[in-house]
Amino acid sequence: AAAALGAIVGAVVCYALVLPPVFDRWMALERWMRIGISVACLLPLAFFSPERPISAKRVAPGFSRLLSWLPRQLSWLPPSGGRSVESGFSRTRDPEWGFSRTQDPESGFSRTPRWRTLPAAGLAYFACLGVGFMLIEIGLMQRFVIFLGHPVYSLTVILFTLLLGGGLGSALSRGWVTQRRHAAAALGAIVVSVVCYALVLPPVFDRWMALERWMRIGISVACLLPLGLLLGVPLPAGVRMLAAERPSAIAWAWAINGVTSVLGATLAIFVAMHWGFTRVAFAGATAYGIAMLLAALMKRSATVPDAVV
Nearest-10 Cα torsion for 11, 17, 23, 25:
-130
Q: Is the pLDDT of residue 73 over 60?
A: no
User: What is the per-residue pLDDT for 177?
Assistant: 64
Query: What are 152-170's pLDDT values in tens digits?
Result: 888 888 888 988 998 898 8
As a whole number of angstroms, the distance between CA 188 and CA 196 comes to: 12
User: What is the per-residue pLDDT for 228?
Assistant: 92
User: What is the per-residue pLDDT for 104?
Assistant: 45
Cβ neighbours of residue 75 under 8 Å, at least 6 residues apart?
A: 109, 110
Q: Is the pLDDT of residue 88 over 80?
A: no
As a whole number of angstroms, the distance between CA 238 and CA 242 comes to: 6
Query: What are 277-299's pLDDT values in tens digits?
Result: 889 999 999 999 999 988 877 75
Find out whether 289 and 191 touch, Cβ atoms under 8 Å.
Answer: yes
pTM of the complete model beyond 0.85: no
